A = this chain, B = another copy of it.
Amino acid sequence: MTEIVTAGVLVIGDEILSGRTKDQNIGFIAEYLTNIGIDLREVRVVADDEAVIIEALDALRARYHYVFTTGGIGPTHDDVTADAVAKAFGVGIDHHPEVVARFRERFTEAELNEARLRMTRIPDGAELIQSATILAPGFKIGNVIVLAGVPSIMQAMMDIVSPKLKSGARMLSETIRANAREGDIGGPLRALAEAHPEAIIGSYPFLDEDRKPNTNLVVRSRDPEQLRVAVAAVKDMLTKLHTPH
């Protein structure tokens, strides 16, 4: 049996909670983690408030193998993520010499003000997540991975950090279009799900091209053979359903 590796995501930002900014990171990270064999189990969105961030972070990092945070690592007063993470881990936080050196190459002395230097503050013992195209680095401390809030930068950081993460067997999935209303297949589908506990079977209604109610059935398993068996059972169920009798 391969170990199951789990994760939580903590999205940090008043602008998401006010609705001003529509989050694009949850969906990206969810799909990314599924693809590399990490199970996303929970997401939380909280405000730019140090105490609130610490509480959510402590809850998630105790519960899952990894926690990914997004947002709050910029140069302004409302960017409090790095401080919150340092406090959660009970470590100090200071200007990181390597990041400061990179900033000195990139900025003039006049530009290198206190606000910009704020982005070089990294909790003690954290590992940097950076590249030539990333200004303010992300970092990894313990099982917490701190990413930018801007989607393109967050995505670049995921590519840098992901090879360093342990991952489990990838969750495989297959989607079967039922060509039936969810209410018509709910009964046989329940029986089928109970008969195949080794697979996870989800049912997702949608309106098709003709605006008619239809259903996608998604079968998931870490084991290719178990997936195949459950998918065959679903298809068999649908064939019987669609055969006039």
Residues of A within 8 A of B (CB): 11, 14-23, 26-34, 39-48, 52, 74-79, 107, 111, 113-116, 118-119, 150, 171, 173, 182-187, 189-190, 193-194, 200-205, 218, 220
Question: Taking CB as reference atom, which chain B residue is nearest A203?
Answer: B76
Partner of A114, one of B11, B26, B48, B186: B186
Query: Which B residues lie within 8 Å of A40 (CB)?
Result: 17-19
Partner of A190, one of B30, B77, B171: B77
- In the complex, the count of this chain's copies comes to 2
A45–B30 Cα distance when bound, in Å, is 11
- Also in contact, A27 and B22, with CB within 8 A (given A115-B186, A182-B74): yes
A107–B19 Cα distance when bound, in Å, is 38
Query: Which B residues lie within 8 Å of A119 (CB)?
Result: 183
- Also in contact, A186 and B26, with CB within 8 A (given A17-B40, A173-B18): no
Q: When the two chains form their complex, are residues A20 and B187 in contact, meaning their CB atoms are under 8 A apart?
A: no
Query: Which B residues lie within 8 Å of A113 (CB)?
Result: 183-184, 186-187
Query: Which B residues lie within 8 Å of A116 (CB)?
Result: 183, 186
